[in-house]
Structure formats: C-alpha cells, structure tokens
C-alpha cells in the first residue's frame, strides 16, 4: 500500500495544479518565506494547520535531518497522508501532531519558529491557540502568519466563512497573546482567483 502511495505521489508532481509543486512555488515563494523566518539546518519549526503538507515538506528540506518539523492538524487522516509522504521521501525530521481546536499540543519552549499558512482564519479558539503557540516558542522565537485580507469591523465569527481575516485583527489578537509585531513581509497573489495574501511576522519577546 505504501509503495502504491509513493508511486501516486510521484506521478502527482507532473499534474498541473496552482496550489502545489512548482506552480505554487512561483507565487508563494517558499524559500523567501523561510529566509524571512530565519530557518536553517537544525531549526525546530511547527507547521500549524498544515493542509496537504506543501510547506511541511519545504520546511523539512530546509531544516535537514538535524532539525525538526512538527506538522500539526486536527484530523488524523490528513496527518496519515503526511506521515506516508514523509516515509516515501525519507523525511525523518517530520513529526505529526494531532492537535486540538484550542491547543496545538506542542512541547513547551521547543520551537524556533511557528508558521500558520491560510489557516488562522479557520481557528475558532484563536486566543487559546495563540497562547499554545506562544508557550511552544522559545523566547525570541518567531511566528509567521500568512492569510488573506478583508475589511475590518465585521463580527469575528464571519471571517470563518469568508476564509479571510483582516491584518488588524490578527495583530490585535497576537498582541493580546503577548507577541510583539515585527513587520509585514512582502505578500503573495495566487493566480487562481487572483487571491491576495499578506505575511505578518511576530516574535515571542525575550523578557
């Protein structure tokens, strides 16, 4: 079964898709994202709400087997797929974590970086999740949030269905959790639907 999965995964690299592989690399620029986060060989990073594992695998290649990547999801079926892919590609630095809606379930003070890509708007228990991420980061550790903008001033619950969340809301909630806003990095535009994304960078203060 695993051999068949590996074969299908390999074939999928040649299928045209805007949300995976080289086509996504062209617009989301994962190497630049990882550079902004200061990731290098030996870094420990969490990919929270990892979806199909696009960033998880890029992160694993960057940190090398001397580092570690925690892939955090709420659905074990999704995590099973990433475990299979990690085994196929011998990415032993990937560790899957079955999180909860209010807890990423990550080791305390273990992370250099946490990354949340197109998933923050989905979080219902955002205050609790931010608190969990804060606790998992080392002092001085970085949090990167990539999401899509929308107008502010709407009920917080409305952003779940819009699949967007205003930058100002993210900054306010991160500050409430204790994070220090560092800067906005250059954003992205997904060709399919011409959807825009911003990239915000925060730090867990050292004192």
In a structure prediction context, what are the per-residue pLDDT tens digits for the chain, which is 207 residues long? 444 445 444 434 333 344 567 888 899 999 999 999 999 999 999 999 876 788 999 999 999 999 999 999 998 888 988 998 899 889 999 999 999 999 999 999 999 999 999 999 999 999 999 999 999 999 999 999 999 999 988 999 889 888 999 999 999 999 999 999 999 999 999 998 889 999 999 999 998
Query: What is the bridge-based pairing of β-strands 68-73 and 137-147?
Result: unpaired
Phi, psi of 164 (to 5 degrees): -150, 160
Please check whether residue 144 is in contact with residue 171, taking contact to mean a CB–CB distance below 8 angstroms. no
For residues 129 and 127, give the distance between their C-alpha atoms in angstroms, rounded to a whole number: 5
Domains and CATH numbers, the chain: 29-192 (3.40.50.150)
- Element (DSSP H or E) covering residue 187: strand 180-190
């Amino acid at each position: 079964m695993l051999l068949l999965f590996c074969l299908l995964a390999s074939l999928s690299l040649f299928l045209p898709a805007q949300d995976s592989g080289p086509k996504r690399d062209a617009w989301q620029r994962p190497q630049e994202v990882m550079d902004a986060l200061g990731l290098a060989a030996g870094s420990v990073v969490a990919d929270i709400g990892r979806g199909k594992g696009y960033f998880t695998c890029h992160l694993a290649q960057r940190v090398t087997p001397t580092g570690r990547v925690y892939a955090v999801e709420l659905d074990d079926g999704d995590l099973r797929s990433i475990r299979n892919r990690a085994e196929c590609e011998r990415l032993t630095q990937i560790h899957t974590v079955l999180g909860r809606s209010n807890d990423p379930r990550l080791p305390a003070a273990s992370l250099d970086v946490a990354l949340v890509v197109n998933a923050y708007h989905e979080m219902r228990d955002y205050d609790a999740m931010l608190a969990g991420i804060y606790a998992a980061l080392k002092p001085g550790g970085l949090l990167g949030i990539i999401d899509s903008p929308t107008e502010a001033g709407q009920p917080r619950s409305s952003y779940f269905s819009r699949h967007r969340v205003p930058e100002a809301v993210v900054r306010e909630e991160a500050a409430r959790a204790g994070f220090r806003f560092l800067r906005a990095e250059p954003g992205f535009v997904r060709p399919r639907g011409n959807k825009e994304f911003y990239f915000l960078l925060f730090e867990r203060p050292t004192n």
